[in-house]
Structure 1
């Protein structure tokens, strides 16, 4: 599986990030918070693990990461068989990485 930089993939209830995306936006972090804002997927960095969130698990030796969150995606209408790739960008106003229209794609 090849995940392009500055893109994320959603499939089988997981959010997949390339090592480049992880290093650029979440380097050294172990957790993120996922939110839906209208049709956008918002990925917030969590700097204190005690604050909660979803684990950024290492997926490959290269350093790609996966956030396993089937409950979140199902709650927002993306079933386990959903498969999509989305470009992401940093939104400084939200202090988060945003995948525009991720939830419109269903």
Structure 2
């Protein structure tokens, strides 16, 4: 099963369907960028930290602000709409390939 997510200005936007499928009952995620791949991993214990999955609207869409992660990778200004993402069990993460160039 695949999903579609968005990235804008250091935040990862997750539609309600993606949250229900991959992050049910999860309040925080870890966001990493490795080899031009975005990884979003669930945090199962609140004490483990991570980025809060903030409620965006009544529909249940969520957003995780990870400005520091994108800043460290010099991608803070990245805007990527409708990124295809897939769950990779070996990584324990929802993964998406990030575009090479910034989009506007």
CA separation in 2, counterparts of 1:12 and 1:35? 15
Map Cα deviations across residues 41-70 of structure 1 (whole Å, 9 max, x no partner).
111111001001000000000000000111
Q: CA deviation at 1:90?
A: 0.4
| SS class of match (1:72) | helix
Where does structure 2 lack aligned partners over 5 or more consecutive residues? Answer: none
Aligned residues: 100
TM-score, normalised to structure 1's length?
A: 0.86
Q: CA deviation at 1:88?
A: 0.3
TM-score, normalised to structure 2's length?
A: 0.88
The structure with the greater share of residues assigned to strand is: 2
Contact 1:29/1:45 (8 A) holds in 2 = yes
Is 1:49 aligned to 2:37, yes or no?
no
Contact 1:41/1:103 (8 A) holds in 2 = no
Where does structure 1 lack aligned partners over 5 or more consecutive residues? Answer: none
Q: CA RMSD in A?
A: 1.5
Is 1:68 aligned to 2:65, yes or no?
yes
CA separation in 2, counterparts of 1:40 and 1:105? 13
